[in-house]
Structure 1
Amino acid sequence: MLSFSILLVFISFALCCLFKPQWRGKANQPSLPPGPKPWPIVGNLPQLIKSKKKTSVSHWIHSFMKEMNTEIACIRLGNVHVISVTCPEISREFLKNQDAVFASRPLTMATDVLSKGHLGPIFAPLGEQWKKMKRVMVSEMLSKARHQWLYEKRVEEADNLVRYVHNQCKNSNEGGLVNLRVAARHYCGNLMRKLVFNQRYFGEGKADGGPGFEEEEYIEAIFTSLTYVYSFCISDYFPSLRGFDLEGHEKIMKEATRVMDKYHDPVIEDRIRKRRDGKIDEPQDLLDVLVSLTDDNGVTLLSIDEIKVQICEIMLAAVDNPSNALEWALAEMLNKPETLRKAIDELDNVVGKDRLVQESDFPRLNYVKACTREAFRLHPISPFIPPHVSVADTTVGGYFIPKASYVVLSREGLGRNPKVWDDPYEFKPERHLQDCKEGEEVVITEPELRFISFSRGRRGCPGVVLGSSMTTMLFARLLQGFDWNIPNNKGAIDLSQGKRDSFLAKPLLAVAKPRLSPNVYSFPKINE
C-alpha cells in the first residue's frame, strides 16, 4: 500500500499528463451544490484519501455536510461530480420527478469484475443489456406468481432457522448462547440457495442445521464483495490508474468473485448440460427457470455468462439487508426490554404459542414490522445507496447537476435527519405506528424516501416482496420462538458501529431459551 504523499504525487503526475477537466460552468447557469473546495486536476482526491486513512469516506462527507448546513453537496473526484443528498424532498426529485435522467450506473472496477463486464441488471449502465436483464429479473424471477410458487421453500428455511437456534439451547436449562449475526446471515444465505439452486448447502452443512465451511466461506465472500463494490475506489474516478491497483481493491474483489464462482459455476454448468440433454422437465428452482428461457424463435435467451451474473447479483442483493436489520434491532430491543416485550406480546396475541408464525400472519404484525422499519431507518446496511448516474445536464433543488454526475442518496442522512425525525438517534418503533391510519397495515417500504429500505424508481429493488417477507419472517420467528436475554455479567449490549462499515462493531451474542410448546420444535426430516 502506497503512503498518502507518494500516492498523491503519483496520481497528480499521471493526471497532469493524461487528464483535463471537461466541465465548465456557463453564464446564468445555476451553481453546483456546495462542497469542499477542490484542488486543480485531482479535485477532492486528497481529502478522500485522508478520510480513508482516518475513518471512512462516508464519515467525511456527512461531517462536512453538517458543518456547511446543507442537505445536498458536491465533491469532485477528477472529472466526476459526486452529489450526496440527505433531504427526502430532493431525493424524491432525483428518483421520482427526474428518475429517467438518473437511471444509469457508473462503470467501476468492482462492478466490472462482479458482473463480467456489466452483463446483469443491478450494475449495468442504462441500455439494451440492462433492459433485457431487468425484464428477466422482474418477470421471471421476482414476480408475484413466482413468489407464490416458491412459498414452500421459504417455509422450509424458516423452519430450519428455528431448528438451528433451538439446537443451540435445547440441552441447557439456562439456555444457549447464540451468535445472531451467524444465524441471520445464514438464514438469508440458506433461503436464497434453496430458491436458486434447490439446495441449502454447497457442502454437507452441520447436523444442527448450521453452516459448514463452504457456506461460511461463501457468505464471507458475499459480504466482502458488498463492502468493496462502491467503496470510492480511486481508479473508478481515474480509470488510467486501474492496472496499478493502488488500494488493493481489485485483488480483493477478484478473490471474492473467485470464491462465489467456485460454488456457483459447477451447479450452473451442470444444470445447463441437463437442460440441453432434455433432463429438466418442470422447473424446480430459479436456476431451472433461467436455463429454460427462450426467445420468440425458441432460441436460448440467456448466455451462460448472463445466467451466472444474474445468479450472482440476486444472491448479493438478498443477504445483507435483512440480516443487518435483525442484528441491530434485537441489540436495541435487548437494551429496551419493554420494546422486546411489546413485539412478543403481539406475536402471542396474533399467532399464539402452539404453532409457528406464517406469512399469512404478517398483515397483523404491525409492531414487529415497525421494529424492522426502525432498524432500516436508524441502522442502514450502508451509508449510501448505489450511485445513480445522470444521462443529461439538469437542475435539481435549484442546483446544476452536470451530465455523468454520480448521485448517492445517504441512507444515514435520510434516516437520521433531525428535520424529519424526532429523536433521530433513538430506537422508537412506535413512530411508525403513528404514521399509519387506524386499521392500516405497516409496510417495510418507504416510498417518500424519509429513509431507505428498498430504493425506488427504474433502479429500485425489484425484490421488494421477497425482501419484505424474508425480513419479517426472520424477525418474527426468532422473537416468537425464543426468549432472548443479555449474557450474564455483560450489562447492556454495546451499540457501537464498526469504524469502516455499518455493522455492529462486534457480532451480537444473546442467550436464547425456547418459549413455545415443545411439539412446535419438532420438524419433519427435510431435504438438504
Structure 2
Amino acid sequence: MSMSIMNPSSFTLLIFSFTLALALAMLSLRSKKPKGQLPPGPQGWPIVGNLFHTIMNRPVHVWIHRSMEDMQTEIACFRFASVHVITVTSSEIAREVLREKDEALADRTQSYSSNLISDGYKEVAFSSYGESWKLMKKMMTTKLMSPTTLNKTLGDRTLEADNIVTYVFNLPRQGSINVRDVVLTYCHAVMMRMMFGQRHFEVAAEDGGLGPKEKEHVDAIYRALDCFFSFNGANYIPFLRGWNIDNKEAEVREAVDILNRCNDPIIHERMELWRTKGGKETEEDWLDILITLKDDQGMPLFTFDEIRALYRDINVATIDNPMNNVEWTIAEMLNNPEILEKATNELDVVVGKNRLVQESDIPQLNYIKACSRESFRLHPTNVFMPPHVARQDTTLAGYFIPKGSQILVSRIGLGRNPNIWDEPNMFKPERHLADHVGNSMDVTLMEPEMRFVIFGSGRRACAGTKIGTSMTIMLLARLLQGFEWTLPNDTSQVELVPADTNLFMAKPLLACAKPRLTPTLYPKIQV
C-alpha cells in the first residue's frame, strides 16, 4: 500500500508502528553494547543511526564511499537502526572476510526482496548457511556446473554464439545498433538453452532477437536485483516489511510474478513429463537434471517450489555479469582504438578469419581476457557484493564485529583503490598480463588476491565461474572477430557514465558494426 493512497487511520497505524519499532531498536541497542571497538563510522542520530543519511544522500553508495574517504579508512561501520553495516574497500580485509573469517561470516541478510526472490529461502544465493544450503550448493557444483554437464551443453552455447553473430550481421547497416540489446539477446538465449533446452518462452522473434516475453523476463530480473541491492529502510527494521514504504516491495512483487509466469508453466509441464509420463531417453538440460535427482530413499530430491526458487537464482545470477562486462568493454575499446586493434589482431593471429572463434580458443586469448578483467575492475555490475552476515561475534582488521552485522565488500572500492592500482581510473588491460614482478602469465577471470571482485570467493562464491567466464569471453570474442566496431558519425567519445541504481551504463551503448569476415561464416539463425 503506497503512502499516496493511504487513508488517515492507516497512516496513523504506520506512524505508531514505526515509532514502536524504533523504540524496540533503541532498547536492543542499549542491551547490546559492543564488546570491543567498532570500525570508525559517521555519527548517527539517536535510535535510527545513519538511516536518515540514506534518505538524504542518493545514491547511497556514493555517500558511503565519500564518508570512508573523509575518514581515511578502508573499513567503516554504519548503523542503520539496530543493524551494524560494515563496509570494506581493502583487498587485505576482503581476504579476511572471504577466507580467514569465511565460516563466521557465511550467513545472508533476510529482507522482503530476498525472501520473495528465493521463495522463502529455498535456494543457494539468499538462504542462510546450514545443511539445506550445503545440499543445494553441492548439487549446483557437482551436477549443474560439473565438467560433464558443461561439456554436454557446449553445443547449445556454440549455437547461440553463432546466432548472435548472424543476428548482428542481419541488422540494418544504416546508422548505429544498440549493443546492450545484442549482448542481452545472447546472454538470455544461452541461459534459456541451458535451463529449458529452448530459446523462447512462446513464439520466436522473427529477427532472432528477444521476443516480447523475453524482454519482459529480462526487465523483471534486473528490477528484482535492483530491489535486493537497495538500501531500503525496511531491510533494517523488520517491523516495517510489507508496508511498501518506498515502493520497492511492490516492484519486487511484480518482478517475481513475471518470473513465475514465464518459468512456472515450463517447470510444471516438464515435471509431469518425468514424474507421470515416463520422462525422456536422456537428460537434456538443467531442468531435466533437477527433476530427476533422487534422495537416499529414491524419492525426488527437490519439490516444485525448490526448483522454482533455484531457477530464479539462475535467472538473477547468469546474465548480469556477461551483459554488463561486454557492453562496458566495447565502450572502453571505442574510446581507446589502439586497444580495440590489439584485441582484434590477437583474434586474427590465434583464430584467423577462416573460422569462428570457439570456447576451446579462450585459453589463448590472453589480451581479450585482460580487457574483460579490466572492465570487471572498473565497471562491476553492482557496487557491493551480496551482504555477508556475522553468525557470531568476530573481528575484522582488529575491530569488533557484533553477531548479526552485515559486511559489504565494495567492488568499486577495491577496483578503484589507489593503494592497490596505479592510475585506478584508467582502462589499461596490460596491467593484467604480468604478475607483480613483471613475469608474463596466462590470464583468467579469477582474482584470488581480491584486488577486485568478479565471481567472489569462499563458501558463498558463485558456483558458475567457469560458465560465466565462457559466456563473457565467447560473446566478446565473437563480436570483435565478426565486426569492425566504430562510433556513430555524430559521436567522438562514448560517455562512460554509470546508472544510479546499479553500475550498468546509464545509457545503452550505440555503435556501428561492419562485417569483417566472409559472408559464408555468418550462419542462419537457429531457433
Give the TM-score band, short-chain normalised: over 0.9
Q: C-alpha distance in 1, partners of 2:503/2:70?
A: 22
Secondary structure at 1:102 match in 2: coil
Deviation at 1:10, TM superposition (A): 6.5
Deviation at 1:281, TM superposition (A): 2.6
Decide whether aligned partners of structure 1 residues 16 and 473 sit closer, same or farther in structure 2, where only a CA change above 3 A counts. Answer: closer
Which residue in 2 is equivalent to 1:21?
A: 28
| C-alpha contact (below 8 Å) 1:205/1:215 kept by paired residues | no
Q: C-alpha distance in 1, partners of 2:357/2:71?
A: 48
Decide whether aligned partners of structure 1 residues 74 and 275 sit closer, same or farther in structure 2, where only a CA change above 3 A counts. Answer: same
Q: C-alpha distance in 1, partners of 2:350/2:175?
A: 27
- Aligned runs of 1:291-306 on 2, under 5 Å? 291-306=291-306
Secondary structure at 2:103 match in 1: helix
Secondary structure at 1:324 match in 2: helix
Amino acid at match of 1:41: I
Aligned residues: 515
Indicate yes or no: 2:407 matched with 1:404.
no
Q: C-alpha distance in 2, partners of 1:142/1:297?
A: 24
| C-alpha contact (below 8 Å) 1:92/1:449 kept by paired residues | yes
| C-alpha contact (below 8 Å) 2:485/2:512 kept by paired residues | yes
Q: TM-score, normalised by structure 2?
A: 0.95
Q: C-alpha distance in 1, partners of 2:351/2:55?
A: 52
Q: C-alpha distance in 1, partners of 2:440/2:430?
A: 15
Indicate yes or no: 2:329 matched with 1:322.
no
Secondary structure at 2:28 match in 1: coil
| C-alpha contact (below 8 Å) 2:85/2:406 kept by paired residues | yes
Which residue in 2 is equivalent to 1:236?
A: 235
Q: C-alpha distance in 2, partners of 1:415/1:223?
A: 23
- Aligned runs of 1:38-187 on 2, under 5 Å? 38-51=44-57, 55-169=58-172, 172=173, 177-187=176-186
| C-alpha contact (below 8 Å) 1:353/1:516 kept by paired residues | yes
Unaligned runs of 5+ in 1: none
Which residue in 2 is equivalent to 1:33?
A: 39
Amino acid at match of 1:303: T
| C-alpha contact (below 8 Å) 1:264/1:308 kept by paired residues | yes
Q: C-alpha distance in 2, partners of 1:39/1:336?
A: 47
Q: Which deviates the most, 503-512 or 199-208?
A: 199-208
Q: Which deviates the most, 339-348 or 134-143?
A: 134-143
| C-alpha contact (below 8 Å) 2:88/2:408 kept by paired residues | yes
Amino acid at match of 1:224: R
Deviation at 1:243, TM superposition (A): 2.4
Indicate yes or no: 2:454 matched with 1:453.
yes
Deviation at 1:207, TM superposition (A): 2.1
Unaligned runs of 5+ in 2: 5-10
- The CA deviation string for residues 367-415 of structure 1, in whole angstroms up to 9 with x for no partner, is 0000000000000100000000011111110110111110010000000
- Aligned runs of 1:359-374 on 2, under 5 Å? 359-374=359-374
Q: Which deviates the most, 86-95 or 38-47?
A: 38-47
Q: C-alpha distance in 2, partners of 1:517/1:281?
A: 40
Q: C-alpha distance in 2, partners of 1:508/1:394?
A: 44
Amino acid at match of 2:228: V
Deviation at 1:127, TM superposition (A): 1.6
Secondary structure at 1:99 match in 2: coil
| C-alpha contact (below 8 Å) 1:150/1:195 kept by paired residues | yes
Q: C-alpha distance in 2, partners of 1:475/1:295?
A: 40
| C-alpha contact (below 8 Å) 1:203/1:215 kept by paired residues | no
Which residue in 2 is equivalent to 1:205?
A: 204
| C-alpha contact (below 8 Å) 2:40/2:75 kept by paired residues | yes
Amino acid at match of 1:405: S
- Aligned runs of 1:302-381 on 2, under 5 Å? 302-381=302-381
Secondary structure at 2:489 match in 1: coil
Amino acid at match of 2:213: E
Q: C-alpha distance in 1, partners of 2:225/2:242?
A: 21
| C-alpha contact (below 8 Å) 1:168/1:177 kept by paired residues | no
Secondary structure at 1:243 match in 2: coil
Amino acid at match of 1:481: G
Amino acid at match of 1:122: A
Decide whether aligned partners of structure 1 residues 16 and 154 sit closer, same or farther in structure 2, where only a CA change above 3 A counts. Answer: closer
Amino acid at match of 1:450: R
Deviation at 1:439, TM superposition (A): 5.8
Q: C-alpha distance in 1, partners of 2:512/2:170?
A: 13
Q: C-alpha distance in 1, partners of 2:206/2:19?
A: 58
| C-alpha contact (below 8 Å) 2:175/2:488 kept by paired residues | no
Which residue in 1 is equivalent to 2:7?
A: none
| C-alpha contact (below 8 Å) 1:385/1:408 kept by paired residues | yes
Q: C-alpha distance in 1, partners of 2:177/2:450?
A: 34
Which residue in 2 is equivalent to 1:272?
A: 271
Q: C-alpha distance in 1, partners of 2:89/2:503?
A: 17
Amino acid at match of 2:442: E
Deviation at 1:17, TM superposition (A): 4.2
| C-alpha contact (below 8 Å) 2:157/2:190 kept by paired residues | yes
Secondary structure at 1:37 match in 2: coil
Percent identity over the alignment is 45
Amino acid at match of 1:44: N
Q: C-alpha distance in 2, partners of 1:522/1:393?
A: 58
Deviation at 1:315, TM superposition (A): 1.6
Indicate yes or no: 2:221 matched with 1:222.
yes
Q: C-alpha distance in 2, partners of 1:11/1:49?
A: 19
Secondary structure at 1:159 match in 2: helix
| C-alpha contact (below 8 Å) 2:434/2:441 kept by paired residues | no
Amino acid at match of 1:155: T
Amino acid at match of 1:108: S
